[in-house]
Structure 1
Amino acid sequence: MTVEFVEQDVSTPDLGNHRAREFRGTYYPTDIEEVRQHVMLAARAGTPIYPLSTGRNWGMGSRSPVVDGCAILDLSRMTTIRTLDLDQGYAVVEPGVTQRQLTELLAETPWMLNVTAGCADASIVGNTLERGDGTIRARLEDLLGLEVVLGTGEVITTGGLDRNGVRPGAVAGPDLTKAFVQSNLGVVTAMAIALVPRPSAITLVHTTFDRSALDEAIDITIRLCRTRVATHGMLRLKELFVVPETARAAVPEGADTSTMTIEVPLLGSHQAVRLAEREIHDMFSSAAGLVSYRSLDTADTPADDPLYPRTLFARGIPSCANVHRRLDVDSCSQVDESPAGWLMFLPVVPLGQTSWHKAVELFDSEAQRHSAAAMLELNVISQHSANMVAQIPFRREPGAVERAHALRAAARRSFLRAGFPPYRSNIDHAPSELAARSAAYRDGPLTELKRLFDPAGIIAPGRYLAADR
């Protein structure tokens, strides 16, 4: 069995202008047996491999491995939707299956996909394993089970998923599903994901507040979180800019740095959605600093409305329009070589007024100190915590690149000291992410799992877990 191999010595450019990694080339398997054969060959030869789905890990490293000397295992040609169960509401997808591909298959069915606001052609598997956030809920809530090739070539399944792509439900015994999230214990070749029941009505509530009214915006977001119901989508406080005067040139054209946004989709029956929207409107109408309030019926929003792409997300339809606009590109294939660069910093922040204020103040302080701009977003993933997304734009000039990377590194240190560790890492910091939480940290059982599942230590070296520290 032959797996296509493309020789290449240095990684291609990436959106974040990370240091170029040297690697040995790229393999393109098309099925699980080709993955197994390559993993076993790599283990015998001691050649490290770095799996990726579609490589659109933008702002975190894109297609680049963590360390030099790897061969890339590109799974983008594994595009089979093995199971689509419209009775139970789940799908079993391979790593190359994109948001667009599954969404088109779900059209006119009782189910929809929990899509992200990123690229329509991004991998569902890759984003879920990286703990991405969807429009309706955290992507990790969609994860039901996995098929994994271990470093020995052995194939295991988790979460009740069987080798025939069927998942009757969670089954008896220990479940290792979460062990393969953000790890390098194996190569994930299929994932069972939960779909979202398609409601009869979806409304998108979109409000803006004056940037000076941060206290009010945080307060009302948290109050709304405490009262919302399960059918509400992901509640977000977003488009909150921190912009030093010296870094204004990095801010995307058309961005309004004087306001911030609170946004939430409402899903359910027409009556339930109307009632929920009315309660939210009453809550927001008396809030100080409110600039605008819009309630959009997502089924009737015209395509020329600036919020149209966001209404698509709420309906489970991916769109690349916002990505193209922010990065001034015509296609997502151009993102890694776009005119502007972009870095991501992603810490978890407890859901509380004190914590949110502190997180914003910390980032603002570091942005001022390093003369680099950022746009902050707080995604409420539970009634206890939020995922913060800090997007750091920069011009592709040596000084600007250095300032942006310095800001991300400094913010990471400040947030760790404050007790807000990253929930997702980039290729520069992944090797030390676990140990950085505590000077006395030891991998312990995780290291033993790595040695058991990948005894040659060839799968994604440097990605969080290490065989030896």
Structure 2
Amino acid sequence: METEALADPDLGDHRRRHVRGTLFAGSTADVQDAVRTADRHGTALYPVSTGRNWGMGSRTPVTDGCTVLDLRHMTRIRTLDLDRGYAVIEPGVSQRELAQRLEGTPWMLNVTAGCADASFVGNTLERGDGTIRARSQDLLGLEVVLGTGELMTTGGLDRHGRLPGSVAGPDLTRAFVQSNLGVVTAMGVGLIPRPEAITLINATFTRPALGSAIDALTRIGRAAFAGTGLFRLKELFIVPESGSPALPETADPEVLTIQGPLLGSRAGVKAAEEGVRDIVAGADGLVSYRALDTATTPADDPLYARTLFARGIPDCRSLRQGLRVNSCDQADRAAVGWMMFLPVVPLDHDILIRSIDIFSTEAERHGTAGMLEFNVTSPHSTNMVVQIPFMRDPDSTHRAHSLRAAARKAFLAAGFPPYRSNIDQAPDEIADRAFGYLDGPLDGLKRLFDPAGVIAPGRYINGADGRRGSK
């Protein structure tokens, strides 16, 4: 039997799993060989792109006994079609690399506020949110190695890296999002047309005006202004009576922010900005309102990094500042730990207030702070982002983990299940999201695509029989 060792610590201080080692794949053929070898030897593989799934486990497997299959060396941009606006990329391609390739072209990238060197493929498969839209809207098609070693493509993506568009017949693309049905080795990505103008809206409100700010956010989210990017209610700090030394130095619990980009022609952006300004100006508790031309914002402006995101340029400075590190390579060993809790919450005034109250109650009970954000992903729904920073002493770490577990239980009871999970709770998400839910059909897909349970045991779908890592 292979000797197992403890995985490296991760930013969220999850339980360190025992791993068999790490395999590095440089091509789709390497992945196929690794899968077939694991099948023959009765072992399990846990694929990671660049391993920067911070706050949810980083590169640590869900279960013990896996071999990490590291795809960081799969860095080819197989196709960059500047006529039709799509790219086909491998898992090791970072958002920085793709954004740089798009400089000076008619297209730009939907970047996140995360690490510039994080994998675009990995974050999209985890359903991350970009600055312009949810990353799920960027996903066009996939190349996937199944647990049998077979290769399949989805979404109309062909074996030559061409994407004519959606083709006839069932499309299984979404089956490989947040799943363990296969190893994704390439992704078709839709790009954003580079607009004539981009304006970043940033409005701050007093904390007592939270309800009024939520009403303004809801109106913006449903107004359908032309060129509206993804608007957020953010920087809502929940601080217990005991305080929190782990919060960023810039944290101000007395205010909160609505922020989002507007993209399009100069006339279109001007009209949309006037509409947003009218909504915000009518809200109570407005402290400041800024509409920044992202092309001319100076580098010393506090919102400069946010204007870069709106222009499709990733930047790590705010992230490093929050983690108190000089390099993102130090993140998993930062002095400050960081966890994420990510439920989906309807875009409704009373429900958003209720979700904040639920988390506030648990934060006070566990003596641990949280930073809340609501990303408006549709006129009906928000992705709630709860960041839980903590000092990495045993007591603070325990309280942070207890807070996330208690918040998850309370949000499930309220009907607000997670839309994205972590390595501790992913095995239970499907079964827990509704009383009496049966996941037999998903188990059937797992048995079909990965009959021996080779790929990422415990990652959402648990139903495959066979030779897997153990909890």
The interval holding the TM-score normalised by the smaller chain is over 0.9
2:323 maps to: 327
- Bigger drift between 343-352 and 225-234 goes to 225-234
| Contact map agreement 2:280 2:286 (CA 8 A) in 1 | yes
2:390 equivalent to 1:397: no
2:201 equivalent to 1:205: yes
- The CA deviation string for residues 119-159 of structure 1, in whole angstroms up to 9 with x for no partner, is 00000000000000000000000000000000000000000
- 2-side partners of 1:124 and 1:132: how far apart? 9
- 2-side partners of 1:118 and 1:89: how far apart? 23
1:144 maps to: 140
| Contact map agreement 2:453 2:464 (CA 8 A) in 1 | no
2:174 equivalent to 1:178: yes
The offset of 1:355, in angstroms, is 1.1
2:13 equivalent to 1:14: no
- 1-side partners of 2:315 and 2:141: how far apart? 27
2:45 equivalent to 1:35: no
1:166 maps to: 162
What is the correspondence of 1:5-404 to structure 2 with a 5 Å cutoff? 9-229=5-225, 231-404=227-400
2:437 maps to: 441
The offset of 1:7, in angstroms, is 8.7
- 2-side partners of 1:264 and 1:162: how far apart? 36
- 2-side partners of 1:390 and 1:436: how far apart? 19
Q: Secondary structure at the match of 1:248?
A: coil
- 2-side partners of 1:107 and 1:149: how far apart? 32
**TM-score normalized by the length of structure 2:** 0.97
The offset of 1:367, in angstroms, is 0.5
- The CA deviation string for residues 371-410 of structure 1, in whole angstroms up to 9 with x for no partner, is 1100000000001110000000101111100110000000
| Contact map agreement 1:53 1:96 (CA 8 A) in 2 | yes
Q: Secondary structure at the match of 1:299?
A: coil
What amino acid does structure 1 have at the position aligned with 2:58?
S
1:416 maps to: 412
Q: Secondary structure at the match of 2:400?
A: helix
2:469 maps to: none
- 2-side partners of 1:296 and 1:197: how far apart? 20
- 1-side partners of 2:186 and 2:51: how far apart? 16
The offset of 1:230, in angstroms, is 5.0
| Contact map agreement 1:7 1:26 (CA 8 A) in 2 | no
- 1-side partners of 2:174 and 2:207: how far apart? 38
CA-based RMSD: 1.2
- 1-side partners of 2:37 and 2:438: how far apart? 31
| Contact map agreement 1:202 1:297 (CA 8 A) in 2 | yes
| Contact map agreement 1:243 1:373 (CA 8 A) in 2 | yes
| Contact map agreement 1:201 1:273 (CA 8 A) in 2 | yes
- 1-side partners of 2:462 and 2:220: how far apart? 41
What amino acid does structure 2 have at the position aligned with 1:167?
L
What amino acid does structure 1 have at the position aligned with 2:306?
R
The offset of 1:228, in angstroms, is 3.0
| Contact map agreement 1:239 1:377 (CA 8 A) in 2 | yes
Question: Closer, same or farther in 2 for the Cα pair 1:383/1:370, shift >3 Å?
Answer: same
- 2-side partners of 1:468 and 1:365: how far apart? 38
Question: Closer, same or farther in 2 for the Cα pair 1:88/1:435, shift >3 Å?
Answer: same
| Contact map agreement 1:151 1:459 (CA 8 A) in 2 | yes
Superposed structure 1 runs of 4+ greater than 2 Å apart: none
What amino acid does structure 1 have at the position aligned with 2:242?
T
Q: Secondary structure at the match of 2:237?
A: strand
1:3 maps to: none
- 2-side partners of 1:131 and 1:446: how far apart? 19
Q: Secondary structure at the match of 1:433?
A: helix
- The CA deviation string for residues 215-253 of structure 1, in whole angstroms up to 9 with x for no partner, is 101111001111133521101000101100213222111
The offset of 1:445, in angstroms, is 1.3
The offset of 1:442, in angstroms, is 1.7
- The CA deviation string for residues 86-135 of structure 1, in whole angstroms up to 9 with x for no partner, is 01100000000000000000000000000000000000000000000000
Q: Secondary structure at the match of 1:88?
A: coil
- The CA deviation string for residues 279-308 of structure 1, in whole angstroms up to 9 with x for no partner, is 222222232111111110000000011100
- 2-side partners of 1:210 and 1:14: how far apart? 35
| Contact map agreement 1:22 1:69 (CA 8 A) in 2 | yes
| Contact map agreement 2:335 2:392 (CA 8 A) in 1 | yes
| Contact map agreement 1:431 1:465 (CA 8 A) in 2 | yes
5+ residue gaps, structure 1, are 1-5
| Contact map agreement 2:227 2:268 (CA 8 A) in 1 | no
2:412 equivalent to 1:431: no
- 1-side partners of 2:221 and 2:3: how far apart? 50
The offset of 1:332, in angstroms, is 0.5
